[in-house]
Structure 1
Amino acid sequence: MAVQGTVAAGFEGVREEFAGFLAEEENAPGAQLVVYRGGERVVDLWSEGVGAESLVGVFSSTKGAAYLVAALLVQDGLLELDRTVASYWPEFAAEGKGGVTLRELLAHRAGVIGLDAGFTPEELADDRAIAARLAGQRPFWQPGRFFGYHALVIGALVGEVVFRATGRTLRAWYEERVRAPYGLDLWLGLPESEEPRVLSTLPMLPTPAQAAEMEAGAWSPYSMGGIAFNEHAPGHVELYEFPNSRAVRAGGQASAGGIGSARGLAGMYAAAAFGLAGEKPLLEADTAAEFARVHSEGRDLVGGMASTLGLGFQSYGHRFPSLGAGAFGHSGAAGSLGLADPRQGFAYGYTRRRCAYPGGAAPENERLLRSVVRALR
């Protein structure tokens, strides 16, 4: 599969690694890869099946935008991490959730992973509707004691705190403070005019061995994992289809409904950690360090696997050995990944059109990141 785009001098090995992965994988996805060294774009690559300007669903990589807004509002003094969620949003106190702090919510410790009855597809496209339904939901574990991935709802929960505290939606703050100033192709709420650039997400094509492994490890729709991914709800839609809905793309659902490109993902993290276009970084060093600092570590009650989370952001100094301590970002179900590594001075964005096995950051990200770090050194 042909690779197009450019790399700066010294980053030729990144292009070779990208091309090598695409040549090896059967049914290789259309993929995009972008890297910033500080505020300078040094890698900008894409393969057949996508274009330089193509937009795709980034699934849970969307969460990085929501957490960046929260971090900016904490930095501005409009939100306080150790204040209770209910002090901003009184209805949230129902069913024993009154003591949950914003810090605990961001660290996926609130226990409000979904609804007993599930959400309709229309509700899942609307963060305000999600929040209204969740306010009265009892938590699925003692808040603060454990953690579990709030897969489809964390953006709505954080967004409702933002709205109650400031009178403005998370989407409006993101557009004003992050996306528009830098012209980023990472959208919470895609305008109709941008629709011709969107490529639909394609389902995973597992090998027979992978399919058997998936079947053996499949959880019940009524397990915590099933509830967190709304699999128990009537009319449940397969996850890969989620951003293929115009209602989701238009609504700007902040947990998994973002639409963007590798340029958009990498650019957001470069703006956050290093600054773009001659501007200072969006996040002060202390803010970035606090949000990247590990707050939840161990077995995730939803996914059942080991996980390491900061304040919302996934902490990647543990996940990828080539990264520095304090690297932070978020991955998405189709295999996308966006992150910043402040210690090594780079931001990274990767998207792919076909869902990857086994989900989350696609396996090729590890080798691509190693090639980036080699180039930097």
Structure 2
Amino acid sequence: MAVHGTVAAGFEGVREEFAAFLAGEEHAPGAQLVVQRGGERVVDLWSDGVTGASLLGVFSSTKGAAYLVTALLVQDGVLDLDRTVASYWPDFAAEGKGGITLRELLAHRAGVIGLDDGFTPDEMYDDRAIAARLAGQRPFWQPGRFFGYHGLVIGALVGEVVFRATGRTLQEWFEERVRAPYDLDLWLGLPESEEPRFLTTLPMLPTPEQQAELEAAAHSPYSLGGIAFNEHAAGNGELYAFPNSRTARASGQASAGGIGSARGLAGMYAAAAFGLDGDGPLLKPDTAAEFARIHSEGKDLVSDQPQAFGLGFQTYGTHFRSIGAGTFGHSGAAGSLALADPRQGYAYAYTRRRFAFPGGAAPENERLLWSVVRALA
């Protein structure tokens, strides 16, 4: 499979690592890889099956955009991390949720991972509808005591706080403060004019051994993991197909509905941490450090796996040995990973068109990240 695109001098090893992965990939994933050193794009690669300008569903990598908007509003003094969610959104106080702070919500400690009876497909596309139904839901654990990934609803919950505090949606803030100023290929609500660049997400094609592993790890649709991913709801579709709906792409659901490219994701994190186009960084160092600081670490009640979260952002230093402390970012179900590593001075984004096994940040990210760190050194 061919590798296309460019790398700056000194980053040839990144291209070689990308090519080595693709050579062993039986089913063409259609992958994009972009690295920004500070504000400079030093790696811009893609494989057959996509182009550098192709737009893909980035699933939970969308959450990075939601958390960046939240961080900016905290930095501006509009939001206070230690105020209760109910002080902005009174209905949220129902069923014992009145004491949950915005900080606890962002750290996945609220316990409001889904609904007892699940969401309809139409509700899953609409953050305000998700939030309205979750306001009356009882938590699935004692808030603040444990943590678990609020995979399909965290963007709606945080977005409702943003809306109640400002009168504007999180998606509107992202467009005004982040996407439009830097002309980023990353949308929370894809315009009709950009539709020709969108490529449908392709399902995972596991080997027989991988399929057996997936079946062995399966959980009940009524488990915490099943409820968090709406698997118990009538009409719930396959996760891979979520961005393939025009309704989902147009709504820009802030947990998993973003549409973009590796260029867009890397540009967003570069703008946040280092600055782009001659502008300074969007986040002050203290703000970036606070949102990257680990707030929840250990066994995640939803995924039943070790996880570490800052304020919304995943803190990958505990999972990828190549990454520096204070790194903040987010992965997506199809295999994408996007982050900023302030200490080592780069932003990284990787996307895939075909779902990777076993889901979440694709395994090849480990080798690709190491190649980036070696090039920087």
TM norm structure 1:
1.00
TM norm structure 2:
1.00
AA aligned to 1:128 is: R
Structure 1 SS opposite 2:349? strand
Structure 2 SS opposite 1:81? coil
Cα distance, 1:28 vs structure 2: 2.7
Is residue 2:158 matched to residue 1:184? no
AA aligned to 2:35 is: V
In structure 2, the residue matched to 1:309 is 309
AA aligned to 1:147 is: F
Structure 2 SS opposite 1:282? coil
Alignment of 1:42-191 (within 5 A): 42-191=42-191
For residues 341 and 282 of structure 2, the distance between their equivalents in structure 1, rounded to whole angstroms, comes to: 15
For residues 105 and 244 of structure 1, the distance between their equivalents in structure 2, rounded to whole angstroms, comes to: 29
Cα distance, 1:366 vs structure 2: 0.5
For residues 316 and 113 of structure 1, the distance between their equivalents in structure 2, rounded to whole angstroms, comes to: 22
Structure 1 SS opposite 2:248? helix
Cα distance, 1:317 vs structure 2: 1.2
Structure 1 SS opposite 2:152? coil
For residues 272 and 316 of structure 1, the distance between their equivalents in structure 2, rounded to whole angstroms, comes to: 17
Structure 2 SS opposite 1:42? strand
- How many residue pairs match? The answer is 377
Any idea what the Cα deviations from partners look like across 1:46-66, whole Å, max 9, x if unmatched?
Answer: 110001210000000000000
In structure 1, the residue matched to 2:258 is 258
Is residue 2:274 matched to residue 1:274? yes
In structure 2, the residue matched to 1:375 is 375
Runs of 5+ consecutive residues of structure 2 not aligned to the other structure: none
AA aligned to 1:215 is: E
For residues 216 and 36 of structure 1, the distance between their equivalents in structure 2, rounded to whole angstroms, comes to: 39
For residues 282 and 336 of structure 1, the distance between their equivalents in structure 2, rounded to whole angstroms, comes to: 23
Cα distance, 1:176 vs structure 2: 0.3
For residues 317 and 280 of structure 1, the distance between their equivalents in structure 2, rounded to whole angstroms, comes to: 25
For residues 215 and 69 of structure 1, the distance between their equivalents in structure 2, rounded to whole angstroms, comes to: 38
In structure 2, the residue matched to 1:10 is 10
AA aligned to 1:246 is: R
In structure 2, the residue matched to 1:19 is 19
In structure 1, the residue matched to 2:222 is 222
Q: Sequence identity of aligned pairs in percent?
A: 82
For residues 299 and 28 of structure 1, the distance between their equivalents in structure 2, rounded to whole angstroms, comes to: 33
For residues 102 and 193 of structure 1, the distance between their equivalents in structure 2, rounded to whole angstroms, comes to: 36
AA aligned to 2:77 is: G
Cα distance, 1:127 vs structure 2: 0.2
Cα distance, 1:169 vs structure 2: 0.4
Q: Is the 8 A contact 2:28 2:48 kept in 1?
A: no
Is residue 2:311 matched to residue 1:326? no
For residues 289 and 358 of structure 2, the distance between their equivalents in structure 1, rounded to whole angstroms, comes to: 30
Is residue 2:197 matched to residue 1:197? yes
In structure 1, the residue matched to 2:365 is 365
For residues 264 and 52 of structure 2, the distance between their equivalents in structure 1, rounded to whole angstroms, comes to: 11
For residues 219 and 267 of structure 1, the distance between their equivalents in structure 2, rounded to whole angstroms, comes to: 37
Runs of 5+ consecutive residues of structure 1 not aligned to the other structure: none
In structure 2, the residue matched to 1:300 is 300
AA aligned to 1:43 is: V
In structure 1, the residue matched to 2:284 is 284
For residues 297 and 138 of structure 1, the distance between their equivalents in structure 2, rounded to whole angstroms, comes to: 23
For residues 319 and 286 of structure 1, the distance between their equivalents in structure 2, rounded to whole angstroms, comes to: 23
AA aligned to 2:292 is: A
In structure 2, the residue matched to 1:237 is 237
For residues 198 and 80 of structure 1, the distance between their equivalents in structure 2, rounded to whole angstroms, comes to: 37
For residues 160 and 73 of structure 2, the distance between their equivalents in structure 1, rounded to whole angstroms, comes to: 13
For residues 234 and 373 of structure 1, the distance between their equivalents in structure 2, rounded to whole angstroms, comes to: 46
For residues 202 and 169 of structure 2, the distance between their equivalents in structure 1, rounded to whole angstroms, comes to: 31
In structure 2, the residue matched to 1:209 is 209
For residues 199 and 347 of structure 2, the distance between their equivalents in structure 1, rounded to whole angstroms, comes to: 24
For residues 360 and 259 of structure 1, the distance between their equivalents in structure 2, rounded to whole angstroms, comes to: 16
AA aligned to 1:25 is: E
Cα distance, 1:26 vs structure 2: 1.0
Cα distance, 1:319 vs structure 2: 1.2
Is residue 2:342 matched to residue 1:342? yes
For residues 312 and 56 of structure 2, the distance between their equivalents in structure 1, rounded to whole angstroms, comes to: 22
AA aligned to 2:12 is: E
For residues 157 and 32 of structure 1, the distance between their equivalents in structure 2, rounded to whole angstroms, comes to: 30
Q: Is the 8 A contact 2:148 2:301 kept in 1?
A: yes
For residues 32 and 216 of structure 1, the distance between their equivalents in structure 2, rounded to whole angstroms, comes to: 31
Q: Is the 8 A contact 2:28 2:49 kept in 1?
A: no
